[in-house]
């Protein structure tokens, strides 16, 4: 996923808003959309789309967004163009409505329905938002048949980490910040003072790329491990040249590709579905080879699947998952 605080020349669109708009657009058409139609019409892409120009960065953003949607369990499909099979430029993308909706045999009690209605009030309902209406008209002008009711919602929930807004503000001012950072295995958080260079989302988690004050050493911090408030020091810095968000994502991708785990999953389980759609996963029957960037994060994730997952390797990941399951069992008697 891409930086929510854009580089010069790009438009600031929250990542979750872009993903939500992408889901709406791909649900709204039965035949799907080509990459060009997505980039030129969907909120979060169209603002930076250059007709007839170079859209390589935008295309990479779309590829990362597709990976993130699939990892979240969204059934995104790729469909060959009937009139031009084998041409990747004419591939169409869609989310089949039947595969995305709840199964017909799932029902809710009156109390559950009430809670769902309350949750729905967090979202703005009713008429189309201005952005959704603009996208709908643009799709229709391209001859794409759309189902209007699906575009009647606009997101209002913010799911970023607590440190995001303060770091985002510091990025805009090129201001040094300090914060307490708690690494796994350490009992006490350590104070860090850094020059923030980029905020990026990688595999569904926000990271800060930064340089340490004094040493200039470049480090990446996971926002969920920042504890306490973000404080500014009153000092500013000259930002380095180049696309820091692209550099940070490339570094995170290299870490991701360098770590591989082998797990066995229960057939047709939630674990099989979600882990099987994880970017870079290779399946051999019920055995999956999957990538990860942080052993503690992936251990939390795998432990959350309970008996649906058995870690085969590496041994340190197997031990980490086992420890989490033992603690869970002890906590619940």
Q: What is the pLDDT of residues 64-76, one digit of tens each?
A: 888 888 877 788 8
| 164-242 fold | SH3 type barrels. (2.30.30)
High-pLDDT (> 70) share of the chain, %: 75
Interhelix angle 15-28/130-141, rounded to 10 degrees, is 40
> Mapping DSSP to helix (H, G, I), strand (E, B) and coil, where does residue 200 land?
strand
Helices (H) and strands (E) in the chain, counts: 11, 12
Q: What is the pLDDT of residues 134-151, one digit of tens each?
A: 555 555 555 555 554 443
Average predicted confidence (pLDDT) for the chain: 81
Interatomic CA distance for residues 148 and 29, integer angstroms: 9
| Cis peptide bond prior to 60, omega within 30° of 0 | no
- What element of type H or E holds 311? strand 309-313
Confidence of residue 106 (pLDDT cuts 50, 70, 90): low
Instruction: Answer yes or no: is pLDDT of 14 > 80.
Output: no
Q: What ranges do the domains of the chain cover?
A: 15-151, 164-242, 259-331
Q: What is the pLDDT of residues 211-246, one digit of tens each?
A: 999 899 999 999 999 998 999 999 999 988 888 988
CA end-to-end span of the chain: 40
């Amino acid at each position: 996923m891409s930086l929510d605080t854009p580089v010069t020349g790009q438009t600031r669109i929250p990542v979750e808003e872009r993903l939500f708009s992408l889901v709406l657009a791909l649900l709204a058409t039965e035949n799907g959309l080509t990459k060009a139609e997505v980039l030129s019409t969907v909120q979060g892409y169209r603002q930076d789309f250059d007709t007839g120009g170079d859209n390589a960065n935008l295309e990479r953003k779309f590829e990362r967004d597709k990976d993130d949607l699939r990892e979240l369990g969204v059934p995104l499909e790729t469909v060959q163009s009937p009139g031009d099979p084998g041409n990747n430029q004419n591939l169409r993308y869609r989310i089949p409505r039947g595969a995305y909706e709840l199964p017909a045999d799932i029902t809710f009690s009156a109390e559950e329905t009430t809670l769902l209605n309350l949750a729905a009030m967090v979202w703005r309902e009713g008429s189309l938002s201005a952005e959704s209406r603009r996208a709908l008209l643009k799709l229709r002008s391209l001859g794409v048949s759309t189902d209007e009711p699906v575009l009647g919602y606009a997101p209002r929930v913010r799911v970023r980490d607590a440190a995001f807004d303060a770091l985002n503000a510091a990025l805009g001012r090129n201001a040094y910040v300090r914060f307490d950072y708690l690494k796994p295995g350490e009992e006490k958080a350590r104070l860090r003072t850094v020059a923030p260079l980029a905020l990026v989302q990688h595999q569904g988690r926000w990271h800060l790329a930064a340089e340490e004050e004094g040493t200039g050493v470049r480090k990446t911090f996971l926002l969920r491990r920042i504890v306490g408030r973000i404080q500014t020091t009153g000092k500013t810095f000259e930002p380095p040249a180049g696309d820091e968000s692209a550099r940070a994502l490339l570094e995170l991708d290299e870490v991701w590709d360098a770590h591989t785990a082998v797990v066995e999953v229960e057939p047709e389980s939630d674990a099989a579905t979600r882990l099987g759609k994880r970017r870079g996963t290779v399946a051999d029957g019920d055995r999956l080879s999957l990538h990860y960037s942080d052993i503690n994060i992936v251990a939390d994730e795998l432990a959350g699947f309970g008996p649906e997952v058995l870690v085969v390797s590496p041994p340190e990941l197997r031990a980490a998952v086992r420890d989490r399951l033992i603690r869970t069992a002890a906590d619940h008697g």
